[in-house]
A and B are shown apart, each in its own frame.
Chain A
């Protein structure tokens, strides 16, 4: 469970997040949408402390992670993240990419880490690319490896930061399919996305952000058919 209260973040004079308070339940799939520059990614990056919040509080499973004596690495072990630009380790093979963190951070033995990695790669449909280097993969394949890499740490929460925005159109589906599957397993997922169909079909709840604030949140059906705010309806008119 993720809970935020009055979460704010500013870069110098620029207030990117303004008093975000929300709760994401265990097993919930939340799609965060909104125009670019609305603070969606910053919100996501605060949850695993890639950004330090300027003020406010975040709790993960009732444990506050915004205190002064928090071990960031400990927090992040439990939260997987998938980036827009994949960020695979280019000097490692696909298998090494997936096994590195479990071996280094959780001290899992090599044989076991490789067994887990191969299972995950099978699940994302890449069991034939185990020994390839990332430079040999397509964008969609890279992103599926990145998802497997995050899952290898066996996290309770997965954060997705525009996972399909850097992909060619024909590769979007293969990544979304993996994410859909993940949603059915009961994973807690927070997805910043521009894929409205994905948000509509898969998300349990939509958070609509604009200007650093949560303007509206609710069930996808309700939100997409009857947005309550003018900003949301303007936004939907442009993207749908």
Chain B
């Protein structure tokens, strides 16, 4: 068995720097996806065609094509059209944010639809305007339905974030690859990166369960 972890010790700080890089673009992508996803979800539950159709088409496109293809198109193909040299961070955030929005919008839509129709009627009968009804009555209840699926989406996004290594973004994955190439030893740096990914997801999962528990307090 040819294993020697002492060889990667000097490269550990280099790999660890990737955590920050990964977290930075993952959190920006999640926020972007959440914001756009919420807007899309509200369009989908609207009974106006001109809101509903574009949102449905959007979701169909971004769920129906591979994420890595979307990433490549944004990073390599669009610059060809506009002669704009897009920074890797921007490409990464755009691809993951736009993609995540499609999934998030479906999660939120389903969560809203699962809220008892009577809640809408009760609010309407009291003369509550639509925006207030959504913000104060429907969304807080939908949140409980949404949260588990949303946690899943965040976990997927965090793991899939390793794809950005293909466009040269210096994330955890990319750094592990570089160290592997320098040392001609791939097992140790990749295993090390794998453990870090697992720890990040473990923490994320626990935050999720904690939030879920807190939200059940009114039951």
Chain A interfacial positions (CB closer than 8 Å to B)? 48, 50, 72-74, 76-77, 79-81, 83, 85, 87-91, 100-101, 104-105, 133, 135, 149-150, 153
Contacts and interface: CB of A to CB of B under 8 A. Distances in A.
Contacts of A100: 126, 128, 136
Interface of B: 116, 118-119, 121-122, 124-129, 132, 136-137, 140-141, 218-219
A76 B126 contact: yes
Contacts of B136: 100, 104
B137 A89 contact: yes
Given A76-B124, A135-B219, 5 more contacts: A73-B128, A85-B118, A91-B140, A100-B128, A105-B127
Nearest to B133: A104
8 contacts: A50-B124, A72-B124, A77-B127, A83-B121, A89-B119, A105-B129, A135-B219, A150-B125
Contacts of B121: 50, 83, 87
Secondary structure dominating the interface of B: helix
A135 B218 contact: yes
A107 to B, nearest CB: 12
Contact of B218 (A77, A105, A133, A150): A133
A91 B121 CA distance: 16
Nearest to B140: A91
Q: Which 3 A-B pairs have the closest CB atoms?
A: A87-B122, A101-B126, A87-B118
Nearest to A77: B127
Contacts of B119: 87, 89
Nearest to A149: B126
B55 to A, nearest CB: 25
A91 B218 contact: yes
